[in-house]
Amino acid sequence: MSLNPVPHVRRAPIGTVVVPLLSFILNGWMLGWANAPYDPAWAARHPRREVLMALAGPAANLALVILCGLALRAGVAAGLLAAPERVTFTHVADAVAAGGGLDGAVTLVSILFSLNLILFAFNLLPLPPMDGSAVLPLMMGPAAARRYKDLLAAQPMLSLLGLLLAWKLFPPVFGWLQIVALRVLYPGVGYG
């Protein structure tokens, strides 16, 4: 396990570099993927650790959302930033005084906040192949959990179906979560 992105790029260069760049150039938004080594025998021996490992990515995303939120709140408290009238992916705060490097820093923190909120929510959907689907076997009996895992292993198309369902279900889920996050970030401001 490493936070170094190089092993991910080596393992899946198409999903981590090529597709994100092409989707951004062609559509104005990024789509991509990465993967990590997975040992099903280890996961079978350590089901709780498997869940913790699956939740590590979304937990890291949530930690980055919180850190960005704290930075934005500190900027508001210092009088450098204010809640924007309209929030976008790249615009989660307004710089009170334009110019200097503050606008660029606010854009960067806004992107990090938005992107990690999206990744946190998307990866927690309880659909294969998202990390949230790894939590489901803990809620099942041992035999049902084994059948669930065997079904996913035997039917890789279920992961494609899970991605398609996630693509349809995600917008309303994320819309609600984004409003909650913005209300926590800017109490008293009526987003939503």
d(CA 155, CA 187): 46
In a domain, 146, yes or no: yes
Return the pLDDT at 1. 58
In a domain, 72, yes or no: yes
Q: Which two tokens stand for residue 26?
A: 């062609």
In a domain, 190, yes or no: no
Residue 3, pLDDT > 90, answer: no
Same structural domain, 5 and 75: no
In a domain, 118, yes or no: yes
Same structural domain, 27 and 45: no
Highest mean predicted confidence (pLDDT) among 12-26, 97-111, 174-188? 174-188
In a domain, 85, yes or no: yes
Share of the chain above pLDDT 70, in %: 98
Alpha carbon distance, N-terminus to C-terminus of the chain:
39
Same structural domain, 103 and 29: no
In a domain, 124, yes or no: yes
Claim: this prediction has a pTM higher than 0.85: no
Contacting residues for 56 by C-beta, under 8 A, at least 6 apart: 1
Same structural domain, 71 and 16: no
Same structural domain, 66 and 10: no
For 152-170, the pLDDT digits (tens) are 888 888 888 988 898 898 8
Same structural domain, 76 and 22: no
In a domain, 192, yes or no: no
Contacting residues for 124 by C-beta, under 8 A, at least 6 apart: 58, 130, 131, 132
Same structural domain, 116 and 26: no
pLDDT band for 4, please (50, 70, 90 cuts).
confident
Same structural domain, 66 and 111: yes
For 66-100, the pLDDT digits (tens) are 999 999 999 999 999 999 999 998 999 999 987 77
In a domain, 191, yes or no: no
Residue 2, pLDDT > 70, answer: no
For 16-71, the pLDDT digits (tens) are 899 888 888 887 777 787 777 778 788 888 888 888 888 988 999 999 999 999 99
Same structural domain, 59 and 82: yes
Three-class DSSP category at 129: coil
Q: For residues 33 and 57, is the Cβ–Cβ distance under 8 A?
A: no
* Residue type at position 110: S
Return the pLDDT at 145. 86
Same structural domain, 6 and 94: no
Return the pLDDT at 35. 75
Three-class DSSP category at 154: helix
The domain of 153 spans 38-185
Same structural domain, 4 and 93: no
Q: Quote the number of domains for the chain.
A: 2
Same structural domain, 22 and 73: no
Return the pLDDT at 185. 96
